[in-house]
């Protein structure tokens, strides 16, 4: 049974992330851990008030979080009839990243699902600060980020950007390969070139990847890099009607460039396309 964490902050983003995960894994035996992590900034909230008042505040927040999670469970019990799916609520008095790290130590988690925040005035979705932090720090578990306006129907095409400088071992690709197999989806491997042909090492990496993808519907594409990486592959995914972008979170790669604060503040992804970040498990 897969164990999938859904980050729940009771926003529309979180609801959409939950619904996307339920549909994406509709044919998979899963336990969904509905995680609400709350951590008030105590000093800002109580000022000079005493510890007893702070304890009351935490108790109130815990009561509220559990009550809201119970509402979600009642809704799912009434409206989501899938015998393969099971749910567990978790209200935690901690910040989101610390809560996730602790769960990853204690349980065998297969995936973290988060909603992303919208950006008014921009035709796309800026990755929210929580999502950025999780992507930067969680290196041992896949993370699926779901834009708030994304309406999942089916997984038909997945874009995998690469520069062919790192090998794709099965441990990294397995979560993606399982989805491709389950949905019989096409994997579109995208090489963003800057005018140069593949060198000998890159050709070797590509050959090994072809071997790993045997039996799956896949294709290779090359596009000239005329803008920043994130905009380039997001644009390609939109134009090709892709349903997801997948990235491998290597150190010292273009994925790492995306999660640097100075860059991410200017990065927008298509509001229709979620992205799956696969961990660097080596």
For the chain, the domain total comes to 2
71's enclosing H/E stretch is: helix 51-79
What stretches of 1-98 adopt beta strand conformation (E)?
Answer: 2-7, 30-38, 85-93
Structure tokens at 50: 């005493």
Cβ 133 vs Cβ 97: under 8 Å: yes
Determine whether 231 is exposed, middle or buried from the number of CB atoms within 10 Å of its CB (0-12, 13-18, 19+).
middle
Do 244 and 133 share a structural domain? Answer: no
Do 194 and 145 share a structural domain? Answer: no
Residue 125: the pLDDT is: 38
Secondary structure class of 182 (helix, strand, coil)? helix
Distances (CA, A) of 213 to 26, 129, 145, 170, 186: 24, 34, 24, 10, 11
Domain membership flag for residue 241: yes
Do 124 and 41 share a structural domain? Answer: yes
**Residues forming beta bridges with residue 140, ordered by sequence position:** none
Of 34, 268, 277, 244, the C-alpha closest to 153 is 244
The last residue of one of the domains, among 106, 133, 151, is 151
Secondary structure class of 21 (helix, strand, coil)? helix
Cβ 98 vs Cβ 243: under 8 Å: no
Domain membership flag for residue 96: yes
Domain membership flag for residue 110: yes
Do 142 and 2 share a structural domain? Answer: yes
Domain membership flag for residue 255: no
Distances (CA, A) of 69 to 7, 12, 101, 183: 11, 14, 21, 30
Domain membership flag for residue 271: no
Residue 162: the pLDDT is: 87
Residue 121: the pLDDT is: 35
Domain membership flag for residue 158: yes
Do 112 and 13 share a structural domain? Answer: yes
The last residue of one of the domains, among 123, 151, 179, is 151
Do 232 and 120 share a structural domain? Answer: no
Do 43 and 174 share a structural domain? Answer: no
3-state DSSP helix/strand/coil percent for the chain, to nearest 5?
40, 25, 35
Domain membership flag for residue 120: yes
Sign of CA dihedral 10, 131, 96, 28: positive
**232 lies in which domain range?**
154-248
Do 135 and 4 share a structural domain? Answer: yes
Q: What CATH number does the domain containing 76 carry?
A: 3.40.50.620
- 44 Cβ contact list (under 8 Å, min separation 6): none
The last residue of one of the domains, among 113, 129, 151, is 151
Do 141 and 66 share a structural domain? Answer: yes
CA distance 9 to 114: 10
Of 125, 144, 161, the C-alpha closest to 24 is 144
Do 130 and 34 share a structural domain? Answer: yes
Query: In tens digits, what is the pLDDT along the chain, a chain of 282 residues?
Result: 999 999 999 999 899 999 999 999 999 999 999 999 987 654 455 555 566 666 666 678 888 899 999 999 999 999 999 999 999 999 998 889 999 999 999 999 999 999 886 443 333 334 456 777 787 788 889 999 898 888 999 999 999 988 888 888 777 899 999 999 999 999 999 997 776 788 899 999 999 999 999 999 999 998 877 666 777 777 888 899 999 989 887 665 555 555 443 333 333 344 468 889 888 655
Residue 30: the pLDDT is: 98
Q: What is the DSSP letter of 160?
A: E
Of 111, 236, 216, 211, the C-alpha closest to 161 is 236
Domain membership flag for residue 273: no
CA distance 89 to 92: 10
CA distance 60 to 246: 40
CA distance 271 to 149: 6
Do 88 and 219 share a structural domain? Answer: no
Do 110 and 54 share a structural domain? Answer: yes
């Amino acid at each position: 049974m897969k164990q999938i964490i859904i980050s729940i902050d009771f926003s529309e983003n979180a609801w959409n992330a939950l619904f996307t995960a339920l549909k994406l894994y509709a044919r998979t035996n899963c336990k969904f851990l509905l995680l609400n992590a709350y951590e008030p900034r105590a000093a800002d909230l109580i000022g000079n008030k005493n510890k007893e008042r702070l304890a009351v505040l935490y108790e109130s927040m815990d009561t509220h979080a559990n009550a809201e999670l119970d509402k979600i469970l009642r809704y799912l019990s009434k409206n989501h009839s899938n015998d393969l799916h099971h749910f567990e609520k978790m209200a935690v008095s901690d910040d989101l990243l610390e809560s996730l790290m602790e769960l990853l130590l204690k349980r065998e988690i297969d995936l973290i699902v988060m909603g992303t925040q919208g950006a008014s005035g921009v035709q796309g979705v800026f990755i929210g600060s929580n999502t950025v932090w999780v992507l930067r720090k969680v290196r041992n578990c896949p993370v699926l980020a779901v834009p708030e306006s994304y309406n999942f129907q089916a997984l038909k095409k997945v874009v995998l950007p690469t520069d062919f400088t790192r090998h794709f071992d099965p441990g990294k690709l397995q979560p993606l390969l399982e989805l491709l197999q389950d949905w019989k989806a096409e994997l579109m491997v995208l090489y963003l070139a800057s005018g140069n042909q593949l060198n000998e090492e890159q050709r070797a990496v590509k050959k090994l990847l072809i071997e790993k993808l045997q039996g799956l519907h896949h294709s290779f594409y090359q596009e000239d890099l005329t803008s920043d990486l994130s905009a380039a592959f997001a644009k390609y995914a939109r134009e090709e009607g892709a349903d997801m972008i997948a990235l491998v979170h290597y150190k010292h790669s273009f994925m790492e460039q995306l999660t640097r604060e100075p860059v991410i503040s200017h990065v927008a992804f298509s509001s229709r396309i979620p992205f799956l970040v696969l961990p660097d498990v080596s």
